[in-house]
A = this chain, B = another copy of it.
């Protein structure tokens, strides 16, 4: 029986670190969760559309977690012209995140139509910047939260066909249909899979706002397809937690509860447990360490700190809440599977 696993320098290629008090609370948990390098989402309020502001934001994150490597992104908006793409590339920004308008937290400034952005996508292709897609169509006209991702897949395929050299990531994919679409595309299309979507189905978020996120967790067959893809050893699929902290007061609401599951502080242990359940621990390092860095073109030489993670078979209990003196109203963030036992723990060396 395996009781320790060398993971090298793992990556989490989809994190929400927020701003202000919440940033202070969650940024240090990246390393607690066993992650060395993160790709940071730009959906702050206001969204990150200015490369200079992104660099300032990165500095503040680096201060909070000096050993973490932060890869940064811009928020796709009409302000992101081909000139801004070039400027962003020069500033060391890695990619651009595209939110359809209105589908998730702070997506009000998102995209309604993709065509106006073709020149931007062409510039990204030229400058080798990653396009991160939140792959959902807004609800209405027969589209609902359960088929919103599937309805987006023709757009994914269309963008891939128009910009075949553009590296595209379908973020936090949740459905069997999405897995199949990514498999059908060429090598420049990959997908991230979260920890929580390896656990959850539709039953788990009704009346349970802590498990409610966008895209929503779907049917058992979809979850099984995600587990199969994540543990397949196919480098098109790699880890992006979409860890999305919200204060309890925005979760414990009878209407309008915020969407997002907080997994940062236990990211790798959550994933390891699923890999172990299906007897695929051998493929864990590929999913959490190798494939994401390869797609992003990162080597360990690029990391600000080269400490490595060993996952050890040692039970830990998920905290029932993360608190911070800095969070207003004494509010807290409740992690995924709060209070439950995890079989694996993280050590750094």
Q: Does A216 contact B (CB under 8 A)?
A: yes
Segment at the B interface, from A8-16, A163-171, A207-215 = A207-215
How far, in whole Å, are A256 and B206 apart by their CA atoms in the complex?
9
Does A251 lie within 8 Å of B248, measured CB to CB? no
How far, in whole Å, are A205 and B139 apart by their CA atoms in the complex?
14
How far, in whole Å, are A205 and B206 apart by their CA atoms in the complex?
7
How far, in whole Å, are A257 and B211 apart by their CA atoms in the complex?
12
Residue of B nearest to A147 (CB): B219
Question: A229 to nearest B CB, angstroms?
Answer: 20
How far, in whole Å, are A209 and B142 apart by their CA atoms in the complex?
23
Q: Does A202 contact B (CB under 8 A)?
A: yes
Taking CB atoms, residues of chain B closer than 8 Å to A219 are 144, 146
Q: Does A54 contact B (CB under 8 A)?
A: no
Question: A223 to nearest B CB, angstroms?
Answer: 10
Question: A75 to nearest B CB, angstroms?
Answer: 23
Pick from B142, B248, B256: contact of A207, CB below 8 A: B256
Taking CB atoms, residues of chain B closer than 8 Å to A248 are 254
Does B206 lie within 8 Å of A255, measured CB to CB? no
Question: A82 to nearest B CB, angstroms?
Answer: 36
Specify the main secondary structure of chain A where it touches its partner: loop
Name A115-146 residues within 8 Å CB distance of B.
Answer: 139, 142, 144-146
Does A254 lie within 8 Å of B254, measured CB to CB? no
Q: Does A304 contact B (CB under 8 A)?
A: no
Q: Does A305 contact B (CB under 8 A)?
A: no
Q: Does A182 contact B (CB under 8 A)?
A: no
How far, in whole Å, are A145 and B212 apart by their CA atoms in the complex?
15
Name A174-201 residues within 8 Å CB distance of B.
Answer: 201
Does B252 lie within 8 Å of A253, measured CB to CB? yes
How far, in whole Å, are A251 and B259 apart by their CA atoms in the complex?
17
Question: A149 to nearest B CB, angstroms?
Answer: 14
Most chain B CB neighbours (cut-off 10 Å) among A206, A212, A251, A253: A206
Taking CB atoms, residues of chain B closer than 8 Å to A207 are 209, 212, 253, 255-259
Given contact pairs A146-B202, A248-B254, A252-B252, enumerate 8 new A-B contacts (beta carbons under 8 Å): A144-B202, A146-B219, A205-B206, A206-B212, A207-B212, A208-B254, A208-B255, A209-B209
Closest 6 CB pairs of A and B: A207-B257, A251-B254, A252-B254, A209-B254, A208-B255, A207-B212
